[in-house]
Amino acid sequence: MPVRPARGAPGPVAQPARRRTKAPGAAAPPATDPGDERRPLARRRLAAPPRSANASRSGGSRPALKPGLPARAAAVAIVDAVLGGRQLDAALDPVEGDSRIGALPERDRALARAIVGVSLRRIGQIEDALGRMMARPLPQKAHLARAILVVGAAQLLFLDVPDHAAVSLAVDLARADRQATHHANLVNGVLRRLAREKSFVLAEQDETRLNTPPWLYARWQAAYGEDGAAALAAAHLQEAALDLGVKADAATWAERLGGRVLPTGAVRVTPRGPVERLDGYLEGAWWVQDAAAALPPRLFGDVRGKRIADLCAAPGGKTAALAAAGATVTAVDQSAARLARLRENLARLRLEAEIVEADLRTWAPETTFDGVLLDAPCSATGTLRRHPDIALTKGPEDVAGLAVLQADLLARAAAWVAPGGLLVYCTCSLERDEGEDQIAAFLASHPDFARVPVEAAEIGGIADAINADGDLRTLPFQIAETEGSRGGWDGFFAARLRRTS
DSSP-assigned letter for residue 159: B
Torsion of CA 6, 240, 287, 107, to 10 degrees: 90
89 or 333: CB nearest ligand SAM: 333
- Enter the DSSP assignment of 55: S
User: Scanning residues 323 to 342, which ones bind ligand SAM (CB under 6 A)?
Assistant: 333-335, 338
Q: What is the dihedral of CA 323, 326, 327, 332, to 10 degrees?
A: 10
Choose between 4 and 338: whose C-beta lies nearer to ligand SAM. 338
- Radius of gyration for the chain, computed over Cα atoms and rounded to the nearest angstrom: 23
- Least gap, CB of 323 to ligand SAM (angstroms): 12
Stretch that binds ligand SAM, among 57-65, 185-193, 195-203, 306-314 (CB under 6 A): 306-314
Helix (H, G, I), strand (E, B) or coil at 131: helix
Tell whether residue 32 is a contact of ligand SAM (CB under 6 A).
yes
Nearer to ligand SAM, 412 or 451 (CB): 412
Q: Nearest approach, Cβ of 360 to ligand SAM (angstroms)? A: 4
Ordered DSSP codes for 15-48? -----PBPSSPPPPPPPSS----------PPPPP
Binding mask 376-395 for ligand SAM (x = CB under 6 A): -x------------------
Look at residue 244 and give its three-state secondary structure. Answer: strand
Calpha distance 384→381 (Å, rounded): 6
Distance CA 431, CA 256 (A): 37
Could you tell me how many residues of this chain bind ligand SAM (CB under 6 A)?
Answer: 19
**Which one of residues 11, 70, 152, 317 is an interface residue with ligand SAM (CB under 6 A)?**
317
In the complex, what is the shortest distance from the CB of residue 413 to ligand SAM, in angstroms, rounded to a whole number? 10
33 binds ligand SAM (CB under 6 A): yes
314 annotated binding-site participant: yes
Question: By CB under 6 A, is residue 318 in contact with ligand SAM?
Answer: yes
Among 169, 186, 314, 351, binds ligand SAM (CB under 6 A): 314
Question: Residue 89 annotated as binding?
Answer: no
Binding part of the chain for ligand SAM, among 69-77, 156-164, 307-315, 466-474 by CB under 6 A, reads 307-315
302 is in an annotated binding site: no
Q: Is 325 annotated as a binding residue?
A: no
Own/partner long-range contacts of 281-284 (Cβ < 8 Å, ≥24 apart): 281/348, 282/348, 284/247, 284/348, 284/349, 284/350, 284/351
Which are the catalytic amino acids? 428
**Of the candidates 28, 191, 223, 312, which one interacts with ligand SAM according to CB under 6 A?**
312
Which of residues 195 and 472 has its CB atom nearest to ligand SAM in the complex?
472
Q: Is 227 annotated as a binding residue?
A: no
Nearest to 476 by CA among 192, 158, 229: 229
Is 317 annotated to bind a ligand? Reply is yes
SS3 of 354, please?
strand
The reply to whether 81 sits in an annotated binding site is: no
63/218 Cα distance (integer angstroms): 52
> Using N-to-C axis directions, what is the helix angle for 163-176 and 143-158, rounded to 10°?
170
Interface residue with ligand SAM, options 106, 361, 455, 481 (CB under 6 A)? 361
Does 360 bind ligand SAM (CB under 6 A)? Our answer is yes
**3-state secondary structure at position 438:** helix
Residue nearest to ligand SAM (CB): 312
Q: Please identify, among the stretches 32-40, 78-86, 200-208, 243-251, the one whose residues bind ligand SAM according to the rule CB under 6 A.
A: 32-40
Does 436 sit near ligand SAM (CB under 6 A)? no
Is 29 an interacting residue with respect to ligand SAM (CB under 6 A)? Answer: no
Q: Which is nearer to ligand SAM, 164 or 361 (CB)?
A: 361
Assess contact for 124 and 210: CB atoms under 8 A. yes
* Other beta carbons within 10 Å of 182: 13
Ramachandran sector of residue 453 (left: φ over 0; alpha: ψ -120 to 50; beta: rest)? beta
| 476 contributes a contact to ligand SAM by CB under 6 A | no
Question: From the list 147, 257, 291, 313, which residue makes contact with ligand SAM (rule: CB under 6 A)?
Answer: 313
Instruction: Return the half-sphere exposure (C-beta side, CA atoms, 13 A cut-off) of residue 178.
Output: 3
Q: Where does this chain bind ligand SAM (CB under 6 A)?
A: 32-33, 36, 312-318, 333-335, 338, 359-361, 375, 377
Residues annotated in a binding site:
312-318, 333, 359, 375
Residues annotated in a binding site for S-adenosyl-L-methionine:
312-318, 333, 359, 375
